[in-house]
Amino acid sequence: MLKGFKEFVLRGNVIDLAVAVVIGGAFGAVVAALVKDLLTPFIAAIVGQPDFSTIQFTVNGSKFLIGDFINALISFLLVAAAIYFFVVAPMNAIIARRHRGEAPPDPTTKKCPECLSEIPIAARRCSACTQPVA
């Protein structure tokens, strides 16, 4: 039982995932600091509020912290944009470059001329409408 657990933990995917979680947490902290220390004061200077994160209103004794929510929203958008532009877009470009020049795989299905349902290439009769297929 411990041997199987050791193989599971030492498999590349688990270690890669652990590294990604640690780096993602550190990156999230950096983006949160960027928002809190640079972007929030800049937006506060434009709006005229000295501390943007303290923007709030009260209804029946309940505080609604709009500034904190906007900080979290900006942090999320920055993290999502960074992941898209620095991870997703380059990986899509690499995959597209790798597949450039390759012939597309042969089709495994065809459309029935009568009912337009997908049927296997080797089929002689449509499974949906039972019409003979040439």
CA 105 remoteness from chain centre: 28
Closest listed residue to residue 47, CA positions, set 67, 75, 33: 67
Closest listed residue to residue 53, CA positions, set 63, 39, 67: 67
Q: Do 126 and 111 contact (CB within 8 A), yes or no? A: no
pLDDT digits (tens, 9 = 90+) for 46-88: 877 666 677 888 999 999 988 888 878 887 888 788 888 888 8
pLDDT digits (tens, 9 = 90+) for 26-44: 888 888 888 778 877 787 7
Give the mean pLDDT of 87-97. 88
Domains present along the chain, CATH in parentheses: 2-102 (1.10.1200.120), 106-134 (no CATH)
Task: State the amino acid at position 6 in one-letter form.
Answer: K
